[in-house]
Amino acid sequence: MMEMGDWWRRGKWRIMVMLTMLHIVGILIFTRGFLLTRTELPYYSNCSDVSESPCFTGQSNPYQNQSNSRCWTRPAVDRLVIIVLDALRFDFVAPSTFFKEPKPWMDKLQVLQKLASTKRSARIFKAIADPPTTSLQRLKGLTTGGLPTFIDVGNSFGAPAILEDNLIHQLASNGKRVVMMGDDTWVQLFPHHFKKSYPYPSFNVKDLHTVDNGCIEHLLPSLYEEDWDVLIAHFLGVDHAGHILGVDSVPMIEKLEQYNEILDKVIEVLDNQSGPGGLHENTFLLVMGDHGQTINGDHGGGSAEEVETSVFAMSFKKPPPTMPSEFDTSSCEMDLDQKKTCISSFQQLDFAATVSALLGVPFPFGSIGRVSPELYTLGAGTWNLENNIEGNCPNQKEEEWMQNYCNVLCINSWQVKRYIDIYSASSVIGFSSEDLLHISDMYAQAEENWSCSSESLLLFKDESCYSSLPLKRKIDAYFKFLLNVAELARSKWTEFDLKMMGIGFVIILISLPIYFLAMMTKSVNGFSSLLFGDSEIFVKLVFALFMVVIRACSFLSNSYILEEGKVASFLLATTAMFKLRNSIKREKMLVEAIVFLLLITILRFTIEVGLSKQAATSLFMSTHSSWLVEIDPGHPVWIYMAEIIPILALIFLAYLLYIIMARSSCHSIWKYVVLGTILCYILIAVHWASESDVLSSMLMLQGIGRNFIPRIIYAVGLGQLLLLAFSPLFHKDRDLESKMHLLIKTLAMLSSCSSTIIVLSGKQGPLVALVTITGGYCIMRLGNIDRGSTDKVAGILTFDPLSVTQWSLLATCLFFVTGHWCAFDGLRYGAAFIGYDEFVLVRQAILLMIDTFGFSHIIPVFGLPFLVARQKLLGHTDQDGRLLLLQLSQMYLMYGLITAASVIATILCVIIQRRHLMVWGLFAPKFVFDVVGLILTDILICLAWFYYVGRREDGTQLTTLDHRD
């Protein structure tokens, strides 16, 4: 027990390193389960690829010679009309008899129901989408035939255009003319692919009609045109009506009735021209939803209501196609008119492959779907009946169909296999080798024995009819292979690994009690004295913990995450008011308290400016900052102010440093470091002056290289850090624990970091630095309010817990003040190119990292000793270094605890909200930022500890001190 205690006591650095490792391990495990990643491959399918497939060996392909236009599969339909009704629930389309009880929004699209029940060439499908069920991801999934994830690693990072191989690309590159109308997301995704497009803005959710009316305006006239092969019309009204009013509302029903009318007209037009030689002789109509929606109109998650959407397919070919009964998986019910309606099931994953097969274009390279038998039949069921109608086998039609379908499946399986193989070879996080082996096995099984061709089937020919048995077996084998691949891909790309997430979370959670234990090592009875003795500190501790807990809880809602900066400043202002109350109570440091409050007010306004910037790019928020409008940014006075104030602030900072250096007697090495910083500040001022139009003309500074000064500053900063790191080698005096020394060390460290951070932050840098200094000073002074009255170190906490909380909240505020927010578009990419023109990943990433986390993580962690050192200077006069060390360690632990607690809350929220609409838009970026911040904080705390304290704790000196008490 004693040894254990000694270990705890002596090895603070060990605990810190251990906590860091714990966090890293936990986060890695959690991330593996949570952040699903998929690599986008830059390959495209080509018509000629198919010769590599095993499907056309020898003379087995009877159609190859017949038509040269043929690519992968024989085109079955000439023209395709796709009408996408956004957020089309399954029960909008299916007859209400399929559900337990009829609801007001059912049976509104009666034209579809009627056709499905009366015509053989029309059918309703229940389409299952894969989460995330947001329009953008779904469109991507539908066209690529893949499963989009949060991080689709690829070239399209940031830009929405799909660079992966996709259906629209294949259509365009194979000479199909595509016309698009409606939702402008399509144009964002496929900027150059459409022959004609009529995009309408999809942004305004409250606008139910613009997109739809635009669609209607162009849809019917286009149907009479000849200049397209594929027509896409994307209606948004139902989605928007759901978002603002929910499913059970009057506008929703009105919308559905409107669609019914439009669809009726569309089908009438198509039907009228479907005669021989007509414009729509061989046209295929698809009316489909991209995803479903809940009763409240939300979508994005994976609940049944959200993923179940519908496809209505109809062929206008005469005569109508037939469907072999073996592959018909439909379920039938009587509809309202007592007619039999059958509904089949369909995976959206299969859409790209099926449509490609129908139109005869290559399947998208990354497609892992299967050509759906039922949908394919509707389009291609009877395509060669004309030739073989005189056959005397009763089931010859089915034979022909199956043979054709088997061929299609062969190509399909080959393409999927090719994708899986290449993906595993080129992706860092591919599939496991067992899974790959399993899949290869199944593919080999499907491929062996027979080919689909009629020659090999001759063996099984009895009399004049083919035996369908081997064909069916083969098709089943292909099915098995394709379904297995889809299942594997789903588990890899859409399902969170809850077990991993749980383990990771628990590992991170374990760090919390360790923090508490490590903070309480001084004495066990300290705890009781904390509870019953010093009520002041106890109240503060409770208040501080309350703030931390309430901030952590706020992450449960997406709204609070969006406005995290405001929440932090709100809490900081609350603590400041608490301090003001205290200072009134003690009747001292009133000025500091009020200055601090004013400072927070300034911070708060700056954060709002940042939020308004975020709102401009974010889909999720709209901020109104009315008071911003009053300042006209174009006014010359403001331009001058914007140029000059940062430089003045910088000069003031340099002056401040100089004053402090001049007043304190310290070692030459620290002096050199600080002098270097002052030099850097001057250089930065010169740099900015040379960049600005206003000043450069005055100072004639244009000539100096733009990149030269920042590089010097980076170099000086690095040199300073190295000097500081090796400073123990230069002098080894024993009075290291003295508060003055600690103060100087902190100052040197901060100053050497600050120049780089300031130059990266741009013009706001020196102002933010001033704010940080003022805020830090106020927090430190206010932390001392009660120190004078209770002149003893009572309880386990030797410091004011509220001060550390404030320091941490201030750090959070600074993150937002410097114009960042927790999203990838919140990174200030410009900062990465200060001093460099060309892009080198590691170098630019480091610069971006320093800019992003400089003021919010690096400076606060290294500046924490100020709170300790000044406290000691004011309160006590004894030179007890042990107490100083204890305070320092407890403060660092407390700081780490606060950071870890909020990150744990974020992780918990991510677990709870993993199926939330905004999980990828909001929670996941927040998670990434928080996690990186936590690891950085941990590492910085370790570094700071080594720098300020080193391993001195292990020395014998402390053991003797321990024996004394």
Partner 1 sequence: MPNVGLDNNLYENIVETIVRSVRNELENFKNQIKAEMTENMKLRHMIAMDDIRNPKKVKLESIEGDDDGINQLEVTMCPLVILFYSCFRKNPEKCSYLKAVIRGVLALPIGALVNALGAIALGAPVGIQYFPKTVNWSLLMSLFTFVPAASVFGSSWEDWRRIFAHTKPNASVDYMICLPAHGAVIGAWFGAWPMPLDWERPWQEWPICVSYGAMAGYLITMVLSFVLVLPRGRQQHPKAD
CB of 784 to partner 1, least distance (A): 17
Instruction: Say how far apart CA 842 and CA 858 lie, in whole Å.
Output: 19
Residue among 192, 133, 134 nearest 162 (CA):
192
Q: Which CB, 14 or 915, lies closer to partner 1?
A: 915
403, containing H or E segment = helix 396-426
Q: Enumerate residues 6+ apart whose C-beta is below 8 A from 693.
A: none
CB of 777 to partner 1, least distance (A): 18
CB of 690 to partner 1, least distance (A): 37
Distance of CA 759 to the CA centre of its chain: 29
Q: Which CB, 245 or 794, lies closer to partner 1?
A: 245
- Residue 368 half-sphere exposure toward CB, CA atoms < 13 A: 23
CB of 487 to partner 1, least distance (A): 36
CB of 752 to partner 1, least distance (A): 34
Q: Which CB, 433 or 626, lies closer to partner 1?
A: 626
Q: Which CB, 350 or 563, lies closer to partner 1?
A: 563
Q: Which CB, 207 or 333, lies closer to partner 1?
A: 207
Q: Which CB, 206 or 792, lies closer to partner 1?
A: 206
The label of the residue with tokens 């200030």 reads: 828
Instruction: Say how far apart CA 844 and CA 857 lie, in whole Å.
Output: 19
Task: Give the total residue count for the chain.
Answer: 965
Q: Which CB, 566 or 787, lies closer to partner 1?
A: 566
Handedness of CA 191, 193, 195, 199 (dihedral sign): negative
Instruction: Say how far apart CA 670 and CA 676 lie, in whole Å.
Output: 10
CB of 295 to partner 1, least distance (A): 15
Q: Which CB, 245 or 669, lies closer to partner 1?
A: 245
For residues 370 and 376, is the Cβ–Cβ distance under 8 A?
no
Cβ atoms within 10 A of the Cβ of 617, count? Answer: 11
Instruction: Say how far apart CA 353 and CA 347 lie, in whole Å.
Output: 11
Instruction: Say how far apart CA 706 and CA 306 lie, in whole Å.
Output: 54
Instruction: Specify which residues 309 forms β-bridges with.
Output: 127
Q: Which residues of 507-546 are buried (b: 16+ CB within 10 A; e: fewer)?
A: bbeebeebbeebbbbbeeebeeebeebbeebbebbebbbe
CB of 212 to partner 1, least distance (A): 12
- Tell me the pairing of strands 340-347 and 331-334: antiparallel
Site residues (CB under 8 A) for partner 1? 206-209, 244-245, 249-251, 557-560, 562-563, 566-567, 569-570, 573-574, 576-577, 581-582, 584-585, 587, 597-598, 600-601, 604-605, 625-627
Residue among 92, 112, 111, 110 nearest 102 (CA):
92
Q: Which CB, 573 or 858, lies closer to partner 1?
A: 573
Give the Cα-Cα-Cα angle 882, 887, 891 (nearest 5 degrees): 150
Q: Which CB, 598 or 715, lies closer to partner 1?
A: 598
For residues 509 and 23, is the Cβ–Cβ distance under 8 A?
no
CB of 625 to partner 1, least distance (A): 8
Instruction: Say how far apart CA 346 and CA 308 lie, in whole Å.
Output: 10
CB of 886 to partner 1, least distance (A): 31
CA Rg, the chain, in Å?
35
CB of 800 to partner 1, least distance (A): 18
Q: Which CB, 316 or 596, lies closer to partner 1?
A: 596
CB of 775 to partner 1, least distance (A): 14
CA distances from 668 to 713, 723, 947 (A): 21, 12, 18
